[in-house]
Structure 1
């Protein structure tokens, strides 16, 4: 079948990935992108134990990646990529609505006091946006 992907979304905000799932369906042949819903601790170990997983990309903590890696029968052959340690980026493009983007970045980083693993931890933008973005964020965050 070639390269396939198993995508296990986070338990919160699953409805927000609907546009992404639609794009997957439109862009890839059936069976290339497979979506699994449920608790990762329950559904991921049996998949890892098969040994058919070649690459593991994880946004969560390294302890989670190590726990999954330990389930793999050939863990020395398993490549780990995208180990962000729950340091989730906001990637801001030049055509973004900056007012909306700033509100969403604040909400995404400070909701639940920033204690969610899915909270935004840093913003990445083009140099030409940096000053406007920084000043706008400062204005809104000063109490």
Structure 2
């Protein structure tokens, strides 16, 4: 998910480019929009995205399922070098960087924000019945004999 920002970095602060996103990211499809705005020393990325088909495991019945996750973020991306003077710009370890070719890649930001959107205890369905505590049967698919024996 790369965007060439060399021209945008040469423009005045506040200049904006918008993109509709319809791309593959790993095994998922990513849909939505990106706004890239020139700021004093870099690019401010505003993303509103939906990642489809994220593989999850139900915390109640341990069934594998897929879900769509909505992700919104706003992050600054800084170039390694000043676009006009070519001097090395200072950076922090956790900065998102624009590479030497002036290409902005949002994949790492997307990965980090996707991790934060995954539910702590995902459920395959709202009324998931879970597993039988006696025999381990998935109660969404079959009844178990434990109730009949007691």
Say yes or no: TM over 0.5.
Answer: no
Higher RCO (CA 8 Å, separation ≥ 6 residues): 2
- Give the number of the structure whose residues are more often helix, by fraction: 1
TM-score (norm 1): 0.23
Q: Please identify which structure carries the higher strand content.
A: 2
Which of the pair has more CA radius of gyration?
2
TM-score, normalised via structure 2 length = 0.22
